Structure 1
Amino acid sequence: MKGQELIKLFFFFFLLSLASCQSSDSAEESHGTYELGTKVSGLQGDVYCGYFDREGQLWFGTTSDGLYRYDGNSLVHYTLQDGLSDNKISSITQDNKGNIWLGTASGICIFNGQKFSHLNLPPYDTITDWLKQSYPVVNPNEVQSIHQDKQGSFWFGTNGAGAYRYDGHTFTHLLDHIGRKQPDSLYHNIIQSITEDHSGNLWFASMTHGGVIRYDGDSFRQIMPDDGISDDMVRTIFVDKAGNIWFGFNGNRNSGLTRYDGTSFQTYTVGDGLCTRNIRAIYQDPDGNLWIGGFSGMCLFDGQKFTVFKGEDGRIFDRIVFIVGDAEGAVWFGGKNGLWQFKNGQVIDWIDHQNQ
Structure 2
Amino acid sequence: MKLTTLLFISILSILTSCNGHTSNPKKNADQFKDPFVKGDTVKELGNNIMLIYQDKKNNYWFGSWVDGLYRYDGKTILHFTTKDGLLSNRIDDIKEDKYGNIYFNNSGEIVKFDGQNFITVSPTSNSDSEWKLEPDDLWFKSYQDSGFVYRYDGKYLHRLKFPETKEGNDYFAKFPNVNYSPYDVYNIYKDSKGNVWFGTASLGVCLYNGITFTWLSEKELEFDVETAFGIRSIIEDSNGKFWFSNSLHRFNVYGQDSTTNYLKEKGIGSLDGKKDGDLVAIISMEKDNNNLWMATYNKGVSRYNGQQITHYPVKYNGKDITVFSIYKDNNGELWLGTHENGAYKFNGKAFEKFKPY
What TM-score do you get using the length of structure 1 for normalisation? 0.71
Q: Could you tell me how far 1:350 is from its partner in structure 2? A: 3.2
Taking a change above 3 Å as real, the CA distance of residues 176 and 319 of structure 1, as seen in their structure-2 partners, is farther
Structure 2 contact 50–339 (Cα < 8 Å) conserved: yes
Find the counterpart in structure 2 of residue 112 from structure 1. 114
Output the CA distance in 2 between the equivalents of 1:176 and 1:67: 34
More helix by share: 1
- Picking from 165, 172, 196, the partner of 1:202 is 196
Shift of 1:80: 1.0
Partner of residue 234, structure 1: 231
Asked if 2 retains the 8 angstrom alpha-carbon contact of 1:237 and 1:245, the reply is: yes
Correspondence for 2:286 among 279, 283, 294:
283
In the alignment, structure 1 residue 173 sits paired with structure 2 residue 160:
yes
**CA drift at 1:170:** 5.6
8 Å CA contact 1:269–1:277 kept in 2: the answer is no
Q: C-alpha separation between the residues in 2 aligned to 1:316 and 1:303?
A: 29
1:216 lines up with 2:219 in the alignment: no
* Greater RCO, 1 or 2 (C-alpha within 8 Å, sep 6+): 2
Tell me what 2:65 maps to.
63
Could you say if the C-alpha distance between residues 57 and 240 of structure 1 is closer, same or farther in structure 2, counting changes exceeding 3 Å? farther
* 1:180-232 residue CA offsets vs partner (Å, 9 max, x unmatched): 3233277613101111111121110001x110000111110111145445356
Amino acid at match of 1:230: F
Letter in 1 for 2:191: D
Match of 2:86 in 1: 84
CA distance in structure 1 between the aligned counterparts of 2:278 and 2:331, rounded to whole angstroms: 27
Bigger mean CA deviation after superposition, 337-346 or 289-298:
337-346
Which residue of structure 2 aligns with residue 261 of structure 1? 252
- Secondary structure class of the residue paired with 1:261: strand
Structure 1: how far apart are the matches of 2:86 and 2:163? 27
Match of 1:3 in 2: none
SS in 1 for 2:92: strand
1:155 offset after TM fit, Å?
2.5
Give the C-alpha shift of residue 83 in structure 1. 1.3
Q: Does 1:306 align with 2:309?
A: yes
Of 146, 155, 159, the match for 1:161: 146
Cα distance, 1:257–1:69 mapped onto 2, change above 3 Å: farther
- Give TM-score, length-normalised by structure 2: 0.71
Gaps of 5+ in 2: 1-32, 127-131, 254-261
For structure 1, list consecutive stretches of 5 or more residues without a partner in the other structure.
1-30, 125-147, 250-255
Structure 1 residue 62, shift from structure 2 partner: 0.6
Question: C-alpha displacement at 1:50, in angstroms?
Answer: 1.6
1:343 corresponds to which of 342, 347, 352 = 347
Q: Secondary structure, in 3 states, of the residue corresponding to 1:156?
A: strand
1:7-156 equivalent positions in 2, closer than 5 A: 33-121=35-123, 150-156=134-140
Asked whether the equivalents of residues 292 and 300 of structure 1 are also in contact (C-alpha less than 8 Å), the reply is: yes
Aligned residues, how many? 291
How far off its partner does 1:272 sit? 6.2
On the 8 A contact 1:300/1:308 being kept in 2, the answer is yes
State the secondary structure of the residue aligned to 1:152.
coil
Among 238, 242, 246, the alignment partner of 2:243 is 246
Distance, in Å, in 1 between the alignment partners of 2:319 and 2:329 is: 22
Letter in 2 for 1:343: N
In 2, the alpha carbon distance for the partners of 1:170 and 1:314 equals: 44
Aligned-pair distance for 1:91?
0.9
Identity across matched positions, percent: 27
